[in-house]
Amino acid sequence: MLLERLCNAASPSAYEGEMREIIKSEIKDYVDEVKVDRMGNIVAHKEGTGKRILIDAHMDEVGFIITGYNEDGTLKFSSLGLVDSKVVPCKVVSLGEKRIPGVIGLKPVHLQTKEESEKNIQLSNLCIDIGAKSKEEARSIIPLGEYAVFTTRFEYFGEGLIKAKALDNRVGCSALIELLKEKYNCDLYGVFSVQEEIKDRGAYIPAYNIQSDIVLILEGTICADMPNVGENLKVTKLKEGPAISIMDETSIFDSNIISEIKNIAVEKGIPYQIRKSTAGNNNGGSYIMNGDSTNVITLSVPSRYIHSSISVCSIEDYENTIRLAKEYLKSL
């Protein structure tokens, strides 16, 4: 399955090379042109005579970057993107293109003082153990600036669910690849963007260069359908369809397009839900602020536990996101 290959790829922010190569090989036979811009974004063009439509899906995942060495051979690190420090300890990671294995270490609970056990975990108090015995050995194995990602593998489980790392935003990338395989009247640009997880940097260039009429963001978004979360905070729910965003921290999305997509969903019998919270953001803000159009909309696949070592989504929601986006494009 394409989504499995994408989820298992290691491509944190600014190190999207593995994803880039997979995507280029998947789309080359379905588009008229494929370019990689100076930031590393893939820009695929399917020529058409209608409106200029840009679909964006970011390639990067949250991860870590190596910032130094401890005397005992363990590694110092910082996050690439927003990662809750509480979910980081004792996770398995791989480092760099060679996939060097490592474990994120934490002082054992038996040795923690009461104060240590009660306060928030700081990444600066953690380390990555690669089995090295000294600073010199660690330096010879892992260079400064090397990246690390979680190693959770893609698996099916439950009834129609998948669990994997990086569903944010491998679901969006996989959906965009599938959309590019179809024919439309619109002049379509597919942008697989870089560095979304570090302040949406990658999208600035295609926003300026392409100057589209409409921008559609495909994303894996917060899903909080959990027993300890109030109903008003259950941003999205699994198996209730793709989520349509009204607003987030950097964007107010186009109400006319929202209405059009909702009408198409009803007409075609495609379930959908409205994303309930304005928390979080995506590349939409970059396109609104740097492009020629404020006609921006986001369709998301609800994904539990994002920005951690594992996330969960529904295959049905993923497939219905593709269906709804495809029907919208055919309507233009």
pLDDT, one tens digit per residue, over 160-200 is 999 999 999 999 999 999 999 999 999 999 999 999 999 88
Q: What pTM, to 2 d.p., does this model score?
A: 0.94
pLDDT (0 to 100) of residue 148: 98
Lowest mean pLDDT of 47-56, 259-268, 271-280, name the range: 271-280
The CATH class of 2-61+165-331 is alpha beta
User: Residue 5: which H helix or E strand, with range?
Assistant: helix 2-8
The pairing of beta strand 311-314 with beta strand 214-223: unpaired
Omega cis (within 30) before 169: yes
Task: Determine whether the annotation assigns residue 110 to a binding site.
Answer: no
User: Is the separation of the CB atoms in 55 and 189 below 8 Å?
Assistant: yes
- 58 is an annotated ligand-binding site residue: yes
CA-closest candidate to residue 75, choices 149, 143, 164, 6:
143
CA distances from residue 296 to 137, 207, 244, 290 in whole angstroms, order as listed: 50, 11, 11, 12
Tell which residue, 289, 325, 146, 295, has the closest CA to residue 212. 295
Range from 29-43, 270-284, 301-315 carrying the lowest mean pLDDT: 270-284
How would DSSP label each residue in 277-303? ---S--THHHHHHHSS---EEEEEEEE
Distance (Å, whole) CA 247 – CA 216: 14
Give the model's pLDDT for residue 214.
Answer: 95
Interval 69-115: pLDDT, tens: 999 999 999 999 999 899 999 999 999 999 999 999 987 877 777 77
User: Would you please indicate which residues are annotated as catalytic (active-site) residues?
Assistant: 196
Which two tokens mark 30? 């379905």
pLDDT given for residue 47 in this prediction: 97
**pLDDT for the residue numbered 184:** 97
Place 253 in a pLDDT band, splitting at 50, 70 and 90.
Answer: confident
Superfamily of domain 63-150: Peptidase M42, domain 2 (2.40.30.40)
- Does pLDDT of 117 surpass 80? no
pLDDT score of 116 more than 80: no
Residues 6+ apart with CB under 8 A from 241: 265, 270, 271, 272, 273, 317, 320, 324
Within this chain, domains 2-61+165-331 and 63-150 share the same CATH topology = no
Across residues 127-156, what is the average pLDDT? 98
C-alpha distance across the termini of the chain, in Å: 30
Q: pLDDT: is 300 or 251 the higher one?
A: 300
- Is pLDDT of 293 > 80? no
* Distance, C-alpha 324 to centroid of its chain: 20
Contacts of 148 by beta carbon, 8 Å cutoff, 6+ apart: 12, 63, 64, 65, 66, 77, 93, 94, 95, 96, 102, 128
- Cβ-based neighbours of 65, under 8 Å, separated by 6 or more: 12, 77, 78, 79, 80, 145, 146, 147, 148
Close Cβ partners of 86 (under 8 Å, ≥ 6 residues apart): 120, 121
Domain ranges of the chain: 2-61+165-331, 63-150
How many Å is the maximal CA-CA distance in the chain? Answer: 67
Report whether 219 belongs to an annotated binding site: yes
* Single-letter code of the amino acid located at 149: V
**pLDDT for 170:** 98
Q: What's the pLDDT at 292? A: 66
Q: 167 in helix, strand or coil?
A: helix
Q: How many residues does the chain have?
A: 332
pLDDT for residue 134 is more than 90: yes
What is the helix (H) or strand (E) element at residue 263, kind and residue range? Answer: helix 255-268
- Top pLDDT among 259 and 200 is at 259
pLDDT attached to residue 13 = 97
Can you give the pLDDT at residue 110? 79
